[in-house]
Amino acid sequence: MTLNKTLVQMSTDIETARNKSDFSTESMYYLLRGGPKAIEQLDYFRNLTQNDPVFNKSEVPFLNRQEQLQKALQISKRLIELMQEQDMNESQCAALIEHIDFALPVTLHFKAFMPVIKNQGTPKQVDKWYNAARKCAIIGCYAQTELSHGSNVMGLKTEAVYDQNSDEFIIHTPDITAAKWWVGGLGVACTHAVVQAQLLIGAKSFGPHLFIVPIRSPIDLEPFKGITVGDIGPKAYGGFATSDNGFVLFDKVRIPRDNMLMKFSQVTRDGKYIAPVHSKMSYGSMVKIRVDLVEEAGWRLGKAVTIAVRYCTVRRQFQAPESKLDNSNLETQVISYSSVKHRLMSLLSTAYALIVSSEAMYTKFNTLTKQLEVNNATMLPEVHATSCALKSWSTRHSADGMEECRKAMGGHGFSVFSGVSELFAIFVPSNTYEGDNFVLSQQVARFLLKQLNDMSKGKQLTSTTEYLNTLTEEPTDSFKFENPYEQILDPRIQLKVFGRRTARLVASLDKQLKSGRAWSDLNVECWAVSTAHAEYFILQEMIRKVEAVRPVAEYAKLADTLKAVSDLFCLFTLNYSSSSTFLSTFTIHPSDLDMLNGQYRTILAKVANNAIPLTDSFGFTDFELNTALGKKDGRAYEHFWDVVQKNPVNSKAENVKLRKLVLDILHRGNTLKVSKL
Amino acid sequence: MTLNKTLVQMSTDIETARNKSDFSTESMYYLLRGGPKAIEQLDYFRNLTQNDPVFNKSEVPFLNRQEQLQKALQISKRLIELMQEQDMNESQCAALIEHIDFALPVTLHFKAFMPVIKNQGTPKQVDKWYNAARKCAIIGCYAQTELSHGSNVMGLKTEAVYDQNSDEFIIHTPDITAAKWWVGGLGVACTHAVVQAQLLIGAKSFGPHLFIVPIRSPIDLEPFKGITVGDIGPKAYGGFATSDNGFVLFDKVRIPRDNMLMKFSQVTRDGKYIAPVHSKMSYGSMVKIRVDLVEEAGWRLGKAVTIAVRYCTVRRQFQAPESKLDNSNLETQVISYSSVKHRLMSLLSTAYALIVSSEAMYTKFNTLTKQLEVNNATMLPEVHATSCALKSWSTRHSADGMEECRKAMGGHGFSVFSGVSELFAIFVPSNTYEGDNFVLSQQVARFLLKQLNDMSKGKQLTSTTEYLNTLTEEPTDSFKFENPYEQILDPRIQLKVFGRRTARLVASLDKQLKSGRAWSDLNVECWAVSTAHAEYFILQEMIRKVEAVRPVAEYAKLADTLKAVSDLFCLFTLNYSSSSTFLSTFTIHPSDLDMLNGQYRTILAKVANNAIPLTDSFGFTDFELNTALGKKDGRAYEHFWDVVQKNPVNSKAENVKLRKLVLDILHRGNTLKVSKL
């Protein structure tokens, strides 16, 4: 079929929206991505991968699980070849794995197995294992979680018993509840695992330690004696189908004593345990993993928003009264429905805010790391707590936001080719991993209660908790606006309002606790406190970014645009996503809501006017978005049609099998006997 | 491996929770399912299906899309055989299709194709087509949505041009944007489609009408001349993988004039159009479809809650301080964490409330139908609006609630074998179909504004909108509690508070509109109004149910239990899910929140104490739940282990292929040349 008017209109619609931009998309792209050097590396990776057919993911939805794993292994192989052809250093290898954005059987080889050996191994161990891993002469995974233990690491049941006679550890799984479970790379690919197991010497237990355990022979991948290993099967929503999350049982598997990672704790030849010199460096690495998730939350939500905004710009439905007047006969662009604008623009602002906040957290993390290196752990509690709050907030809001994007796309959003469901499927488990969000929020609350206590003793607050001071100034009043519509755009007032709300929630939690409620009864209150703390931090960092950008020549013109995005985040949080706690803490008086909501709508219109340029600014290529409905050229229907034509269900070979079954229904029991002549 | 202490403990935990029940699970089961007759039919269907291996769905996650379709066709065939063997009547056939709860290529044959022919066909047409369909000599689908048109039915582009010369309609797709799309049963299975197309006679258009169009030959399933047909491919989250949603293009396909469904409108031999005598009966059927969704929302959420409550009862994590004292050394049951209780019990109450509300809506619908039959449409606007509000509320809350259940299950919740993700995947598109939720909320708001206007003119309000009267009594004050903790359990006060909030949101919308804001700018406000209206209705029906149950001998003892569930719904809505609108409308004063929250916690504890019996009362069999983690016996780890052992990725044949690819990585480029001797 030939192209028709609608398809031409789609191109026109997206170009029109693109041309409306009142800022430089390219400058914004550089700003968001972290400047020319970062873009240079991005382009380098894109050039290496995006034209190579092995990396093309568009037909993955048609493959079964085993075929998806095959594809993932082919991609893995090509990536490793590239690393060697291009002579990449370690950080480039890790960045390339990140860049390809595909759950691979070797992902955790680079992201967990190698780092853990480097950080926890003695120099000799690093020399042996890390170097073999670097060359992919072995493939490793990191085995911690068990069937019956996730969050409670201390409760792990796998045993590592030291046998002094043979100078070996005996790794053993006492029963199936201690099976290692969910381990990425273990199902099919790995030859070795770093295993968390309870160290036992004689009758004495020393808690979980790390052991390198050979799993499969690098020669033929046959599992070693005593090892029962496999893949744990499909995951929710089709997520991580290309990753071989696996299980393993150890039946008294013997490994040399040298296979215990001994940089910190050691077991000597004669079975003495040498306790670790306590290092807080390891806390630092947990912070890093959480900040990585905050950043990922921002960019992935950015992808979903890009797809949804583009599709809703070209999708038209129902005729607008105004189009009847101008005789164009066009239906209304879906993006111009106020409910769609409301949902998508707030998510756009969230994506920006998370990218900006993760940058700020990385800066904090780098300072912390330098201080920890000289044994100064002053910043640790604050950075730990804030990273918990942000991880918890961002993973939840980002995943929920992706699904909201999908819903905003209407019926076609439910096709796998929208590309949005895959984003959700791969990111939603981050609500649970690296610390369940509800568990983390308790740690945030504990820290804030401690700050409150410090404050009452006259100690200085950290930079992220200064808002607690508002408790002494305005303990209970609503914020007195003279003109809420205007004033709420003042960043100092925004922070005052956000800070006051958070401080009051902390104070209320403190009061509840002191009135005798058990800590374990206060999970929900901790959640509210953690949410408010995250929202304060995010808003503060958005405000700082706007201020930081103004004096920089190449970015100065972006300041007003960014300010609108920041204001939208502020006003959406105030009026919608968190309005209940602003009201319940008496921070905002209901009588001010009309005006605040009026300003929300003003800012919403401003941001919506730049919706396409603001999403273009993330700078995703069509290859990266992996969508039929949200490509840059806006020709959603055409691309959707094209990809559906590749559906194997429609192929001759498959169709014959299916037809036979349908005919079994139509013709059932109707076989006529051939009568005898 | 043998069973260990943990597995025995799991059985003990669930039995202990089961035995704590302070009501009869069996009575509650009968009450929820609608009494002995309904249970009888349920048991009849269960006996027919649950022991037949063809209906076993547990290994479906291991199949690829084509294999899933094959499985679905085998199930379809067996169902149709059963219908004939058992000589089922029409309503039994439809109920059996419902019961099997599996998206099949023939589902819409029974649920859409046959009903539409029956309702829209002349007696002669019914005689011909309906009877052939009844015997499954043909398989049908219902083709309405197009690539570029969903919600806007009037904008459909497929044409049906009357050719007077040949006495035929020419069905034609002008371009790919008019391709019929998403049609269930069209991708692989159907022989015929009821097609919505623009009726054209000469140059004149008469809007969308229905035509029976042959698609594939019932002899060999070869598509007829001019038909391009296929399956549209995988859907989001793996949902509806067993259904063959398809597309079709018509290239001037000729059908006899008789193939237009002519019960209401007709085209005569000489090309005259006879307009339908307007019947409001068709509105009724839309109401029915929405109420079906409300009911489905309740039961499906009930499944997710059953699974999550059971798993969280047997999953233990972290050691509770009290268990150290009693030396049992047991970790804490996850269900006893306050955040888990908060999330799961509120969803449990929602499931109950939706089941009860859908019952009430069916009663209303039946009354409406009887009245419409005698051309009395008085109830139509109210029932239409309330069904829209409930459809919108229930589909969103139920799908979101399923995902919350999955999250509450922690890491293992992300396995497909939790069974919860499949529930979400199949139900979340109901946010969009049968009227996009945001579009429907506008119709609710329009109705309520009209009621407000009627009230101002002294007209009587409908039974579901009487709350608008509160506007005249208490236009702006907060509710004056003397003792909020006690008083909020009084059903009259609960309804007063819910009604006042809803009335004020309606009044505020009215004010905004009158102040000059455009209707199209008020989507978000309509959403708030629709939400509040639904919550008022649901609460009202729960309260009525409690009152209705008290005097009935066999159910009287359930009243207190149900009252607690109803109170929990009320208090969760008030304190959490909708607290912002109670506060923003000044209905609740923030100073009352502490006491209201205290009562919420009291009721929460009460409901949580009955969590297992309350979920058992839904009466789902293990077969129906299709879960490894939430089976009735509580032995989650054992079942999870067992199902993973069936994973084909771990089979010899598949593993060989995967191994080869891993070895390609490990051994890449290391081929040694054999040196010459």
CB count in 10 Å sphere of residue B346: 24
CB count in 10 Å sphere of residue B91: 9
Residue A315 has pLDDT above 70, yes or no: yes
Residue A90 has pLDDT above 70, yes or no: yes
* Cβ-based contacts of A189 with chain B (< 8 Å): 662, 665
The predicted-structure confidence for B140-197, as pLDDT tens digits, reads as follows 999 999 999 988 888 999 999 999 999 999 999 999 999 999 999 999 999 999 999 9
Per-residue tokens: A30: 């550089």
The predicted-structure confidence for B577-588, as pLDDT tens digits, reads as follows 999 999 999 999
The predicted-structure confidence for B427-454, as pLDDT tens digits, reads as follows 999 999 999 999 999 999 999 999 999 9
Distances (CA, A) of B656 to A171, A230, A245, A397, B70: 27, 13, 18, 41, 26
- Does B331 reach chain A within 8 Å, measured CB to CB? yes
- Map A483-543 to HEC letters: CHHHHCCCHHHHHHHHHHHHHHHHHHHHHHHHCCCCHHHCHHHHHHHHHHHHHHHHHHHHH
Residue B1 has pLDDT above 70, yes or no: no
Per-residue tokens: A211: 């052991």
Whether the predicted model's global pTM rises above the 0.90 cut? yes
A152 pLDDT band, cuts 50/70/90, is confident
pLDDT reported for residue B3: 58
Spatial distance between the Cα atoms of B41 and B26, rounded to a whole number of angstroms: 16
pLDDT reported for residue B261: 97
Question: Which domains, and CATH codes, for chain A?
Answer: 24-102 (1.10.540.10), 140-275 (2.40.110.10), 283-616 (1.20.140.10)
Distances (CA, A) of A536 to A463, A466, A500, B78, B666: 12, 11, 10, 59, 49
A668 pLDDT band, cuts 50/70/90, is confident
pLDDT reported for residue A671: 46
Strands (E), B314-381: 316-319, 331-333
Listed by number, the residues of chain B in 461-520 with a beta carbon closer than 8 Å to a beta carbon of chain A are 520
Catalytic residue from among B331, B403, B434, B474: B434
Q: Do A233 and B62 touch (CB under 8 A)?
A: yes
Spatial distance between the Cα atoms of A609 and A303, rounded to a whole number of angstroms: 19
**Which of these ranges, A284-288, B78-82, B115-119, B645-649, has the smallest mean pLDDT?**
A284-288
Q: Nearest-CA residue of chain A relative to B236?
A: A416
Question: Which residues 6+ apart lie within 8 Å of A652 measured at CB?
Answer: none
pLDDT reported for residue A3: 58
Residue A673 has pLDDT above 60, yes or no: no
pLDDT reported for residue B276: 84
pLDDT reported for residue B234: 97
Query: Which residue in the block uniquely carries the two structure tokens 């290994």?
Result: B59
A576 min Cα distance to partner chain B (Å): 8
The predicted-structure confidence for A3-53, as pLDDT tens digits, reads as follows 578 889 999 999 999 999 999 999 999 999 999 999 999 999 999 999 999
B184 is in an annotated binding site: yes
* Cβ-based contacts of A64 with chain B (< 8 Å): 63-65, 67
Minimum-distance CB partner of A411 among B182, B318, B640:
B182
Average pLDDT over residues A534-545: 98
Q: Best mutation site among A658, A660, A663 for testing chain B: the one with the most B CBs within 10 Å?
A: A658
Which DSSP string corresponds to B185-254? TTTTT-SEEEEEEEEEETTEEEEEEEEEEE-B-TTT-PBPTTEEEEE---BGGGTTTTS--EEEEESSEE
- Does B256 reach chain A within 8 Å, measured CB to CB? no
Minimum-distance CB partner of B411 among A150, A406, A658:
A150
Q: Do A105 and B413 touch (CB under 8 A)?
A: no
Asked if A640 and A419 touch (Cβ cutoff 8 Å), the reply is no
Q: Best mutation site among B1, B63, B428, B511 for testing chain A: the one with the most A CBs within 10 Å?
A: B1
CB count in 10 Å sphere of residue A444: 28
The predicted-structure confidence for B521-532, as pLDDT tens digits, reads as follows 999 999 999 999
pLDDT reported for residue A84: 93
Q: Do B188 and A136 touch (CB under 8 A)?
A: no
Residue A149 per-residue DSSP state: B
A434: annotated active-site residue: yes
Average pLDDT over residues A454-482: 90
Asked if B247 and B227 touch (Cβ cutoff 8 Å), the reply is no
Spatial distance between the Cα atoms of B587 and B596, rounded to a whole number of angstroms: 13
Q: Do A637 and B339 touch (CB under 8 A)?
A: no
The predicted-structure confidence for A91-121, as pLDDT tens digits, reads as follows 899 999 999 999 999 999 999 999 999 999 9
Q: Do B524 and A138 touch (CB under 8 A)?
A: no
Strands A140-143, A192-201: pairing kind: parallel
pLDDT reported for residue B303: 98
* Cβ-based contacts of A221 with chain B (< 8 Å): 659, 662-663
Residue B72 has pLDDT above 90, yes or no: yes
Asked if B180 and B215 touch (Cβ cutoff 8 Å), the reply is no
pLDDT reported for residue B660: 94
Q: Nearest-CA residue of chain A relative to B4?
A: A175
Residue B675 has pLDDT above 70, yes or no: no
* Cβ-based contacts of B584 with chain A (< 8 Å): 579, 583, 590, 593
Across the strands, what pairs with A200?
A161, A205
B672 pLDDT band, cuts 50/70/90, is very low
pLDDT reported for residue A279: 64
Residue B671 has pLDDT above 60, yes or no: no
Q: Whose CA is closest to B210, among B132, B121, B127?
A: B121
Per-residue tokens: A489: 């755009």
Asked if A539 and A573 touch (Cβ cutoff 8 Å), the reply is yes
Computed over every residue of chain A, the mean pLDDT equals: 94
Spatial distance between the Cα atoms of A668 and B218, rounded to a whole number of angstroms: 12
Spatial distance between the Cα atoms of B503 and B528, rounded to a whole number of angstroms: 11
CB count in 10 Å sphere of residue B150: 21
Query: Which residue in the block uniquely carries the two structure tokens 């309000």?
Result: B461
- Does A136 reach chain B within 8 Å, measured CB to CB? yes
Spatial distance between the Cα atoms of A631 and A620, rounded to a whole number of angstroms: 10
Q: Best mutation site among B180, B584, B602, B651 for testing chain A: the one with the most A CBs within 10 Å?
A: B584
Spatial distance between the Cα atoms of A449 and A510, rounded to a whole number of angstroms: 7
* Cβ-based contacts of B7 with chain A (< 8 Å): 177
Spatial distance between the Cα atoms of B75 and B53, rounded to a whole number of angstroms: 10
Q: What is the ipTM of this complex?
A: 0.96
Asked if B523 and A339 touch (Cβ cutoff 8 Å), the reply is yes
Q: Nearest-CA residue of chain B relative to A424?
A: B237
- Does A330 reach chain B within 8 Å, measured CB to CB? no
Residue B330 φ/ψ region, left for φ over 0, alpha for ψ in the -120 to 50 degree band, beta for the rest: beta
Per-residue tokens: B386: 């309330």
Distances (CA, A) of A131 to A215, A264, A660, B288: 18, 20, 56, 67
Spatial distance between the Cα atoms of B29 and B450, rounded to a whole number of angstroms: 40
CB count in 10 Å sphere of residue B203: 5
pLDDT reported for residue B322: 61
At B231, phi and psi to the nearest 5?
A: -95, 140
Spatial distance between the Cα atoms of B444 and B428, rounded to a whole number of angstroms: 21
Residue B668 has pLDDT above 90, yes or no: no
The predicted-structure confidence for B377-402, as pLDDT tens digits, reads as follows 999 999 999 999 999 999 999 999 99
Average pLDDT over residues B403-423: 98
Please count the residues of chain B.
677
B553 min Cα distance to partner chain A (Å): 38
Q: Do A4 and B177 touch (CB under 8 A)?
A: yes
Query: Which residue in the block uniquely carries the two structure tokens 């590239």?
Result: A82
Q: Report the C-alpha dihedral over residues A324, A330, A331, A334, rounded to 10 degrees.
A: -130
- Does B152 reach chain A within 8 Å, measured CB to CB? yes
CB count in 10 Å sphere of residue A214: 17
Question: Which residues 6+ apart lie within 8 Å of B624 measured at CB?
Answer: B101, B303
Q: Nearest-CA residue of chain A relative to B661?
A: A73
Listed by number, the residues of chain B in 34-73 with a beta carbon closer than 8 Å to a beta carbon of chain A are 61-67, 69-70, 73
Residue B588 per-residue DSSP state: S
* Cβ-based contacts of B232 with chain A (< 8 Å): 415, 644, 647
- Does A447 reach chain B within 8 Å, measured CB to CB? no
* Cβ-based contacts of B174 with chain A (< 8 Å): 4
Higher pLDDT, A351 or A477: A351
A332 is in an annotated binding site: no
Residue B158 φ/ψ region, left for φ over 0, alpha for ψ in the -120 to 50 degree band, beta for the rest: beta
Report the percent of chain A where pLDDT is more than 90.
Answer: 89
pLDDT reported for residue A406: 98
Crossing angle for the helix pair A636-644 and A281-314, to the nearest 10 degrees: 100
pLDDT reported for residue A672: 47
Minimum-distance CB partner of B637 among A148, A230, A410:
A148
Residue B606 has pLDDT above 60, yes or no: yes
A475 pLDDT band, cuts 50/70/90, is low
pLDDT reported for residue B420: 98
* Cβ-based contacts of B233 with chain A (< 8 Å): 61-62, 415-417, 643-644, 647, 649
